[in-house]
Amino acid sequence: MERIKQAIEKDKQQHPVGSSRLVPPQLDRQQQATMLRSSQAEHELIDINYQQTRVVKLQMEHLQKNRIVAFNKNDGMSMNFDLLRTQVLQKMEENGWRTLAITSPTPGSGKSVVAINLSMSVAQQTNKTAMLVDFDLRRPKIGAYLGIPMDKSLNDLLSGTAELPEVLVNPDMPRLVVLATKTPVRKSSETLSSKKIFDLIKDLRQRYESRIIILDLPPVLVIDDAIALLPQVDCVLMVVANGMSTKREIEDSLHLLPAEKLIGVVFNKAEIASRDYYYY
């Protein structure tokens, strides 16, 4: 590994960013592949300058009011999402997964808040970028919770009145991009299972190899929107709030979610040792 690091440093000096870079032939194939992946990941992070994506300054008071805490490392609650992030990313990397859906059995579980905080925590990893997409098309909340203007949103992209770069927002946080939905979408289940959404997810995946795409979905037991999108995602995280869902509702939700895609369950709003989020 030390030999690989030395080769990378030497290559950096000989080939500045933007020039062609070759893998030194003196390394064996496995070492060459490792160096090439490191070089590609480095370029991906350097090239993110948001020249086309709108950059929006977030208001701290608004975020705190909506329990968005992961942006502030001085907030003791942020460590819970860092722990969740580490466990989730380890599982995703083991399987080569890059798309994560977040849902819940019933409304009121706080899944959108978990999705936002987890996205922020992932974006703070220096070797990852994160994209948060509001696919709760009947009750979109991501934009409102973050307090970002939605002159252009997923609604405009779906109607064909805007292109993808026009609807993306960087919430003034490196390596995080948000695709919000402004108003409810009619025929949401049919929309989520459409070729247009299939192509959109494919496009988002291909833009950056280091990107983790987090999709906020509706509750499983209310409508079939989440089930309609599941074939297009790699894995699912379910959020269960203390006292918000019955044991039967949780069991029914787990039955509806493919076992091979269920990455874990977040127990939310738990009053245990002054912590509000747990993962198991």
Per-residue pLDDT of the chain (280 residues; tens, 9 = 90+): 444 344 434 444 444 433 333 333 344 454 444 444 444 444 444 345 556 788 889 899 999 999 999 988 777 788 899 999 999 999 999 999 999 999 999 998 899 999 999 999 999 987 889 999 999 999 999 999 999 988 899 999 999 999 999 999 999 888 999 999 999 999 999 999 999 999 999 999 888 888 999 999 999 998 899 999 999 999 999 999 887 788 999 999 999 999 999 999 998 876 544 444 444 4
**Residue at 93: amino acid letter:** E
CATH number of the domain enclosing 93 = 3.40.50.300
Same domain? For 20 and 145 the reply is no
- Number of domains comprising the chain: 2
DSSP the chain: -HHHHHHHHHHHHHS-TTS-----TTS-HHHHHHHHHHHHHHHHHHT---SSSEE-PPPHHHHHHTT--TT-TTSTTHHHHHHHHHHHHHHHHHHT--EEEEE-SSTTS-HHHHHHHHHHHHHTSTT-EEEEEE---SS--HHHHHT---SS-HHHHHHTSS-HHHHEEE-SSTTEEEE---S--TTHHHHHTSHHHHHHHHHHHHH-TTEEEEEE---TTT-SHHHHHGGG-SEEEEEEETTTS-HHHHHHHHHHS-TTTEEEEEEEEEEETTEEEEE-
- Do 60 and 35 share a structural domain? no
Let me know whether 122 and 16 are in one domain.
no
* Same-domain pairing of 42 and 59: no
226 near 103, Cβ under 8 Å? yes
Residues 173 and 41 in one domain: no
Write a three-state SS string for 211-269. EEEEEECCCCCCCCHHHHHHHHCCEEEEEEECCCCCHHHHHHHHHHCCCCCEEEEEEEE
**Same structural domain for residues 206 and 83?**
yes
Do both 60 and 24 map to the same domain? Answer: no
Q: Which domain holds residue 213?
A: 54-279
pTM over 0.95: no
Q: Say if residue 18 is in the same domain as residue 114.
A: no
Phi/psi region, residue 110 (left: phi>0; alpha: psi -120 to 50; beta: rest), is left
Among 28, 46, 64, the domain-final residue is: 46
Same domain, 137 and 107: yes
Within this chain, do residues 78 and 41 fall inside the same structural domain, yes or no? no
Residue 249 and residue 133 share a domain: yes
Q: Do 22 and 148 fall within a single domain?
A: no
Nearest Cα to 226, choosing from 192, 197, 266? 192
Please enumerate in sequence order all residues whose Cβ is within 8 A of that of 199, keeping only pairs 6 or more positions apart, or say none: none
